[in-house]
Amino acid sequence: MTQKFNEFFKIARKLNGVGITPLLMGSVGLEVVTGSSWDAQDLDIHVPGDKRGWEVPAETSIHNWNEIVEVMNSMDYVLIDLHEHEFSKDGLSVEFGIIDTLPEFAGVRMEGLEMHRKEEVTYYLLNPEQYLRVYEASSKDSYRADQNNHKDLGKIEYLKHVNSHKEKNV
């Protein structure tokens, strides 16, 4: 596994200790699911929060935010952007999002998330079809498209290809 996934795993273990089961999102999660490298730049972790997302003040939009800050501080991460729920340590950015926004944002049902358990650590991963929904929804977000220079389009094409082969083999 990649160094970024190993760091996620350490964070997930600590989050489990305060009753939170995180969802690994973004390129690192996609790398785990597909076995392909996506040149991940950071860690995107989704945790329970207010399903209204950005409509709620940043300091109250994520449930158990104070516990998350304590966990991250205990691992020597520094909060660098409250609005983005972004922490940093040794050049690695870790951003927290809200898992409860997935149904409305991308049509990904909470009960459809796949829970994984390894070495007593539990966490969620999306499957390729769910990733496709998320990246397609994200590609319609002009802020994200501008920030990522449309890198998500390559992921969308890859996932469409993977999902079409999966359907043919069913």
72-88 pLDDT tens trace: 999 999 999 999 999 99
Q: CATH second-level architecture of 3-168?
A: 2-Layer Sandwich (3.30)
43 pLDDT exceeds 80? yes
DSSP 60-79: HHBTTHHHHHHHHHHTT-EE
Judge contact between 125 and 32, C-beta under 8 A. yes
Q: Tell me the angle at which helices 128-139 and 152-168 cross, rounded to the nearest 10 degrees.
A: 140
97-125 pLDDT tens trace: 999 999 999 999 999 999 999 999 999 99
Across the strands, what pairs with 42? 93
148 pLDDT exceeds 90? no
**67 exposed, middle or buried (CB, 10 Å; 0-12, 13-18, 19+)?**
middle
- Give 170's pLDDT tier (boundaries 50, 70, 90): very low
